[in-house]
Homo-oligomer: A and B are copies of this chain.
Amino acid sequence: MLHLAVLGLLADADRHGYELRKQLIELFGARRAMSFGSLYPALARLEQAGLVKAVTASVARPAPAPVPSSGSLAGELAALRARRTAAKATAGERSSRGGRERKVYGITDAGRARLVALLDEPAGDDRTFGVQVAFCRHLEPDRRVVLFERRRAELTERLAERARADHARGSRLDHYRRALRDHDTRALTNDLHWLDELLELERATIPQEDTP
């Protein structure tokens, strides 16, 4: 899910980790946005896999003047500070604000391919489907229809399962469980209607290959 979200966002524009998370919050809300603790390692893994590449690395050229190690801890730290300040001074495209050097990532061709593959894959998770919808413009129109219809089938199946269970049980549920169940069913039905709307619009815009 994280990979999907990161690749999806980077498909729009190059970004650094911190920025990525802010976007995640804006798009999915604070509680669904992954924490830095998983975001940064994920970026590193994606980079290693060649799906993403650092565009503006804090390159820190071979160390301007290597600063012979004095052996003292304070000296080492001072050297590090100096190196960083230097890097900042020379980094042309940096905006004036911000603390540490950013590491800006961009998506690669392999990354784009991966993104499409992840969008095309069955969701598994409810939240994953939401992310897929958020980025589904990167999908071919016909694959988008498949995505929506797969989801539709899944929700229909859940409703059927629910109906079966309701039938089996003689509706011996207390007030709260009944309220919960009814509400869930309504939510499921709303989801289904929403999908139908999406599908209708999708089919209206792509009347593909119907002239024999």
Chain A residues within 8 Å of B, Cβ to Cβ: 26-27, 29-31, 130, 133-137, 158, 161-162, 165, 168-169, 174-177, 179-180, 183-184, 186-187, 190-191, 194, 197-198, 201
Measured between beta carbons, the chain B residues less than 8 angstroms from A175 are 137, 201
Measured between beta carbons, the chain B residues less than 8 angstroms from A161 are 29-30
Per DSSP, are chain A's interface residues mostly helix, strand or loop, or mixed?
A: helix
A131 to B: closest C-beta gap in Å: 9
The quantity of this chain's copies bound in the complex is 2
Instruction: Determine whether the beta carbon of B133 is less than 8 Å from that of A179.
Output: yes
Instruction: Determine whether the beta carbon of B134 is less than 8 Å from that of A26.
Output: no
A124 to B: closest C-beta gap in Å: 9
Instruction: Determine whether the beta carbon of B134 is less than 8 Å from that of A176.
Output: yes
| With A161-B30, A169-B26: A186-B179 Cβ-Cβ less than 8 Å | no
A143 to B: closest C-beta gap in Å: 13
Residue A187 contacts which of B27, B29, B187, B197 (CB distance < 8 angstroms)?
A: B187
Measured between beta carbons, the chain B residues less than 8 angstroms from A184 are 130
The CA-CA distance from A184 to B133 in the complex, in Å, is 12
Instruction: Determine whether the beta carbon of B29 is less than 8 Å from that of A162.
Output: yes
The CA-CA distance from A29 to B82 in the complex, in Å, is 59
| With A187-B187, A190-B190: A180-B26 Cβ-Cβ less than 8 Å | no
